[in-house]
Amino acid sequence: MDESFYGSGEPIADTKAPAGPIEERWSERKFAVKLVNPANKRKKTVIIVGTGLAGGSAGATLAELGYKVVQFCYQDSPRRAHSIAAQGGINAAKNYRNDGDSVHRLFYDTVKGGDFRSRESNVHRLAEISRQIIDQCVAQGVPFAREYGGLLDNRSFGGAQVSRTFYARGQTGQQLLLGAYQALMRQVDAGNVELHPRHEMLDLIMEDGRARGVVVRNLVTGEVRSHTADAVVLATGGYGNVYFLSTNAMGSNVTAAWRAHRRGALFANPCYTQIHPTCIPVSGDHQSKLTLMSESLRNDGRVWVPVKAGDDRRPADIPEDERDYYLERIYPAFGNLVPRDIASRAAKNVCDEGRGVGPGGLGVYLDFAGAIERLGRDAVAAKYGNLFEMYERITGENPYEQPMRIYPAVHYTMGGLWVDYDLESTVPGLFVIGEANFSDHGANRLGASALMQGLADGYFVLPQTIGDYLARNPVGAVPAETVTAAEAEVQERIERLLSIDGDRTVDSFHRELGAIMWEYCGMERTEEGLRKALELIPALREEFWRRVRVPGSGDDLNQSLEKAGRVADFFELAELMCVDALHRTESCGGHFRAESQDEDGEAARDDANFSYVGAWEWTGPGERPILHKEDLAFEYVTPSQRSYK
């Protein structure tokens, strides 16, 4: 490990998770927390930033408990949070299929799927709570698919040999978000939640070492204001848009989490990014985002490429014996349902061999001909119809009549702000939930687990643990000078961006940064490539601060200004991602170092040296970050070479 890019700090530990039998730890923690009595809850204010599945469910639940909630989102409505784009389903260990599922199996599959780089205590809690989530959402009226007899239906997802994924056609995220939204808006109507749409968090207010509020900018009027509270919750999603092209919504960004990182919150495992195998391939330089086709399609769709390199015949003209169903061939036990990281690398490998399909050879087929013949077109349409329609609208190709073309793309980020078992960051009073934290997935997230974690954190975990902090840490008013100083720093940064008056657009810088990240810190990383990126990124960042042009002013709606602030944060994050990837000289999950693979080309972990969470401390612009290690202990799942064969 080359430490010229970073310094080493003291180890870090999660001190909140109880010891003892793993199936009793969450119950023990809930009993041990100090409670806030109902009359005192009305005196406590909690700020929540974000209104997706994690933020929306947290806001609704905390308000229902009696706390005063002040909530922000940069969208014009909480309904537009990116959670709405999640399509395929939500995992839960209900075992409705009687196929051998259990809480322990979901726990095991998740730890294994994350390549043994997650905490056992957190993952087991997630598996336990998964069952409550389904009951909660059914009670809210979420229209999950049902079998003929009326029971909730399930389908399979990658990394599991049981059917545990509950779904609402290809709209699961949308339906779950609407359930959380309705619960949240009920509390808004009751006066328990003060909702501020079209506001972006630009800094964290600190007082006496604690998180006490946020500085936000009204994206319509440009007004910069502060809000203070007893605690702050970030539910602001992931940072995949650092790559420019990703499956994330255009507005998804890292700014809220990154500004908290600058105030002392450690950032954990930033190099763990998920490449999703079923994305519509890039069609040209005009694109500003990519479209994901749900992993649920891998239930009935078969992935293949031609056996011979350079075979450009129409798929219907390629006979069966000249097709390579490579996932079924290489991984017979799981076939097309291997985890995302494995399916993505396998697609890259066959395309690198010259057997890819479509423009540029960067694509593989996802074929439903067999499913349509077996089940009938109507049955396939009932399960996936809206996804097929979306694909046809984007590509002009009818997937009922010819295979879809897919290729891996950046999707989810497993890294995020470090939190303990209570979901509290290293900044006291700052809690981080959903994709914004690092806690539950390790080095790779199994499909249909994002919705599970977001709702578990918001509905069930945070409402229990934040009360312990509020009960133990009574606070007074935040001094006016502290608020004024935080606002002044935000205003100074805005004015600096506006004053550069350069000759390059924000998007041009973002696109160039994304190309560097995809090339050198994407699906495959090498020491040489990462070192190259760590030369290119600081140089491009310096050019950004000299040449970026942000037209308009800060006194009204200015989307160029919004993007400029976010891209400035992406530059700093990108550098940390490459440092983290360079220091971790092993392959695990979504982090694949070309120098660390076995004879079959599979990821080769180094448990002796890297069985830890890498939590990074900010030391200042252009300064070396400091690495703090949280050792991972495995009592119930023995780390082993992952095999899906």
In this structure, the chain runs to a length of: 645
| Backbone torsions φ then ψ of 634, nearest 5 degrees | -120, 110
> How far from 382 is each of 87, 302, 304, 379, CA to CA, in Å?
14, 18, 24, 5
Task: Estimate the crossing angle of helix 559-583 against helix 255-262, to 10 degrees.
Answer: 60
Q: Among residues 212, 340, 566, 642, which one is catalytic?
A: 340
Alpha-carbon distance values, 448 to 157, 172, 353, 488, 615 (Å): 7, 10, 31, 42, 26
In angstroms, rounded to a whole number, what is the distance separating the alpha carbons of residues 201 and 256? 6
| Structure-token pair, residue 495 | 């004015």
What whole-number distance in Å separates Cα of residue 524 and Cα of residue 64?
Answer: 46
Residue 397 identity (one-letter amino acid) = E
CA nearest 249: which of 384, 406, 52? 52
Q: Please say whether the beta carbons of 155 and 296 come within 8 A.
A: yes
Dist. CA 582–CA 363, nearest whole Å: 29
Residue type, 611: S
Respond yes or no: is residue 340 known to be catalytic. yes
CA 90 from centroid of its chain's CA atoms: 14
Half-sphere exposure of 54 (CA within 13 A, CB side): 27
Tokens of 105: 């199996």
Nearest to 116 by CA among 644, 643, 642: 642
Report how far apart the first and last C-alpha atoms of the chain are (Å, whole number): 32
Place of tokens 């100074």: 492
Name the helix (H) or strand (E) containing 517.
helix 506-521
Give Cα separations from 100 to 23, 106, 161, 222 (angstroms).
18, 10, 9, 55
Q: What is the DSSP letter of 597?
A: B
**Burial label, 149 (beta-carbon count in 10 A; 0-12, 13-18, 19+):** exposed
How many Å apart are CA 47 and CA 36, to the nearest integer?
17
Catalytic residue set = 340
